[in-house]
Chains A and B, each alone.
Chain A
């Protein structure tokens, strides 16, 4: 009840529990719109992937499964750390909450660092559409032509790759900003075992961004590892 007197309870709610449930439901409704945003781009990707399977397979083989796989593990680790931060907040363990929020932030930064190193490798291989994509790099034009591959369709894969991973990276940056604010406010004693709703909501958002990557990794990196197209 102390939190209700300290101003955490907005005047249009009766109890902190009612406020917590309303806020959680609201964030889930927001996540539903995010599902449709990523879902629409992934649907386009699937349709063009079905239209140009050989080119999309060839393009996907230019991505590093090792870096993508390590990044998946890093992001799953950040989700575990976030879950532990929310758990510590539920139990009113302020120092542990700050520690796990900062650990989540560090793992998120590591993910983006690895992602940037991948982008740099793709820049050096002239694979970035609208910036430096080139079919004629290290003799691949002849290779693609002899395999009957259309370079424009290979480039289309990279359009989807950069839109999807870029949109995901923007969500990561927003999530990392939220984590920094939550860590600072937790340290300042703004939350308690009775009132930790913002940390719970930050956790929901972070886990959602993790789920997006759970789908992006196999769909972008793993579609063609067995050899031929399709």
Chain B
């Protein structure tokens, strides 16, 4: 049976990187970054997730079909986020009064 056994050294290096990135995301959250907070937090979380997926979940040396499933997950998540946020972000852009005006993310209060 073909299988790739990762070295112990790599597993511990990945673990150290995950802990370092956790400390980084806590540190960054105390900085004054304004609107960049959410992108910074999501970028660091995505890096951590990528490390777990590639090494702990054996995807780096795994089947290409698994890569396809992961691409599908990211793609569909992206479709959901883009459609939801393009809807809520653009409410009120048109002048007429519609039911959609009742919930706007910018001036709801």
Contacts and interface: CB of A to CB of B under 8 A. Distances in A.
- The B interface, classified by DSSP as helix, strand, loop or mixed, is helix
Contacts of A21: 63, 65
A65 B26 contact: yes
A140 B85 CA distance: 32
B73 interface: yes
What range describes how many residues of B lie at the interface? 35 or more
Given A40-B80, A43-B84, A214 B48 contact: yes
Interface of B: 1-3, 5-6, 8, 11-12, 14-15, 18-19, 22, 25-26, 29-35, 37-38, 41-42, 44-45, 48-49, 52-53, 55-58, 62-63, 65-66, 69-70, 72-73, 76-77, 80-81, 84-85, 88, 103-105, 108-109
26 contacts: A29-B69, A35-B73, A36-B73, A36-B76, A39-B81, A47-B105, A52-B109, A65-B26, A76-B18, A76-B19, A79-B56, A80-B12, A87-B5, A90-B3, A90-B5, A91-B5, A211-B48, A211-B52, A214-B45, A214-B49, A214-B52, A218-B25, A218-B44, A222-B41, A223-B29, A223-B38
